[in-house]
Amino acid sequence: MAKADALANGNGSATPAATKRQEPEENIFMFIPNQIGYSRIVLAIASLYYMPLHPRTCSLLYSISCLLDALDGVAARKFEQSTKFGAVLDMVTDRCTTACLLVFLASAFPRWSIIFQGLISLDLASHYMHMYATLSMGGSGQSHKKVDESRSWILKMYYSNNKVLFVFCALNELFFIALYLLSFSSPLLTPSLLQQVETQTVNPANPPAPKPSMLFTSPWSAGAMELARANKMDSTVPWILAAISFPVMAGKQFINVVQLVKASKWLAEGDRTERQKLGLPKKRN
């Protein structure tokens, strides 16, 4: 019987009694940190839906989405599920959600829209340049959060300490959330909140004004937004939050500038090295 088993493969040589078991392929997309990232996206989209007319609901959903940004990093370290996909997903989600909020602020405060447009551009440009420089100059296995102190001690301190990174990101978002709430509650920033609606005398010749729901059938119209703002909120807490978070927000923008400049110089160093290898510029007769 044993001999028959040995000749079973047709050439007289015995087959191995046991083959190496193949490990099941990991589904990177279903890692716990990435699932947290998906939930952040869902919450962010929900907050955008409520943003024009429901400031309290929007702020709550947006804040939870931002706070989960810290939880996915903890989960990645605890379950050993740190991935490049997760890092990019986290960064893209941060950039997109902040940009969407700044777009609303630009429409809420049109006089200052150029500032919010500049903040969007700086945020996207600095992070893209930093990520691209890290991948092209540091290698595909290099993380954008691993910064050599010789290049920038500010970026080294910013990215290497999770607590510092969380405080800067959280208070940066808190400042913009406070501005968002002030657009619904502060007559100082939104003078239209002081305007009073003239009431009409009710008599047969002068019928009462139609209901607001009949005036603004579209909840996305400018009139509907002003009507929602008429349901005033107390601006005290948003002003306090804005005052506390403003210095950190300003520091975050400074770090973005440093990040953009350092990444640009790093890429330029690589260009010079590459041109030297190619013997450029070539002398022409």
Residues that are catalytic: 94
In order of 32, 78, 90, 131, 207, the CA distances from 28 in angstroms are 9, 16, 14, 21, 65
CA-nearest of 117, 121, 91 to 102 is 117
Q: What is the CA radius of gyration of the chain?
A: 28
Rounded CA gap, 278 and 260, in Å? 27
CA-nearest of 230, 200, 177, 238 to 53 is 230
Neighbours of 124 (CB within 10 A): 15
CA-nearest of 255, 259, 257, 197 to 229 is 197
SS3 (DSSP) at 79: coil
Q: Are 81 and 152 in contact (CB under 8 A)?
A: no
Instruction: For 222-262, give the DSSP string.
Output: HHHHHHHHHS----HHHHHHHHHHHHHHHHHHHHHHHHHHH
